[in-house]
Amino acid sequence: MKVKKKRKTGYILLVLAAVLLGLLIQGALGYFRYRQETQDAMLLLEELGGQARTAAESELSLRAAQWAEAEPRLAALPAERRNAPQEGNPELLMLVNPWNPLPEGYEPEIEFVYRLQGRDYWLDTRCVADFKLMMNDCRASGAQPYLCSAHRTWEKQEQLFNEKIRKLVWEEHYDWENAPAVAAQTVAVPGTSEHQLGLAVDIIDWEHPYLDEEQENTRSQIWLMEHCWDYGFILRYPNGTTEFTGIIYEPWHYRYVGQPYAQEIHRMGLTLEEYLTLRQGR
């Protein structure tokens, strides 16, 4: 009886060992299949990504040619307004507008500000502290401001500009030849956007989260327009100044220039273009 019992136990152990070995083999095979399928999927994604990049680059090349052919906006403006002097001015006063592109290879030193609704926002390190203080004080006044755009890479600015062109063509029925010039009135051509400096912010109000002129009547903008210069910011594109700035009225767009300059620009009631021209004449 003991011998039979031992044999039975041995058979059970042998069966269990065989089952365990089978499971191990099956698991190993499954792992290798998973790994192969993953590699195949990655190769496919890389191939598709390459095709998408090639298509995007072709489209951007076409758009770039159209920008170059488009008639310059506001070409009749006096030269001193289009190209305010840069030489001798601090970097915080760097002028970026339709006639003054970013210096070639310019890369600001940026710092993470915060994450909101799944997006990360970054700004030039020199303005982060003043920006946070300004926003906190604005909220303390009872307003509800929030940042909707900060530093943009060249690629991001290209994306926004091309989206605007497509919208003009497909939704508003502009032709491809004229659409870039029209788009540039509201979305800066890549290389001419202050957002690429890392010193510009678009701030809107939770109660009116739209980039339109009604933004000026929100509690956030009323407070910011009255106090932004105390924190080194200016309302960059005031109402009625398009002939100097080349940009429409934007009651949500603020530019950091540092407190001394912001207070002087506000006191004089000038645009940055006019202020830089005035500084050159001193």
- Please name which of 229, 230, 209, 232 lies closest in space to residue 220, comparing C-alpha atoms: 209
Is position 2 within any domain? Answer: no
- Token duo for residue 147: 């940042």
Predicted pLDDT at 207: 95
pTM: 0.69
Is position 123 within any domain? Answer: yes
Q: Which residues pair with 201 in a beta bridge?
A: 254
Is position 19 within any domain? Answer: no
Cα–Cα distance for residue pair 149/174, rounded to 1 Å: 27
Is position 255 within any domain? Answer: yes
Cα–Cα distance for residue pair 40/36, rounded to 1 Å: 6
Give 238-276 pLDDT, tens digit per residue: 999 988 888 899 999 999 999 999 999 999 999 999 999
Say which of 158, 194, 250, 274 is annotated catalytic: 250
Is position 177 within any domain? Answer: yes
Predicted pLDDT at 26: 58
Catalytic annotation on 194? no
Give me the residue label for tokens 């090349």.
61
Number of domains in the chain: 1
Q: Which residues pair with 174 in a beta bridge?
A: none
The CATH number that applies at residue 148 is 3.30.1380.10
Q: What single-letter DSSP state applies at residue 208?
A: B
Where the chain has pLDDT below 50, the residues are 2-5, 19, 28-29, 31-32, 34, 38, 41-42, 44-45, 48, 52-53, 55-56, 59-60, 62-77
Cα–Cα distance for residue pair 147/274, rounded to 1 Å: 27
- Token duo for residue 253: 């767009």
Treating both helix axes as pointing N-terminal to C-terminal, what angle do 219-227 and 128-140 enclose, rounded to 10 degrees? 130
Is position 36 within any domain? Answer: no
Q: Give the residue numbers spanning the domain of 130.
A: 70-281
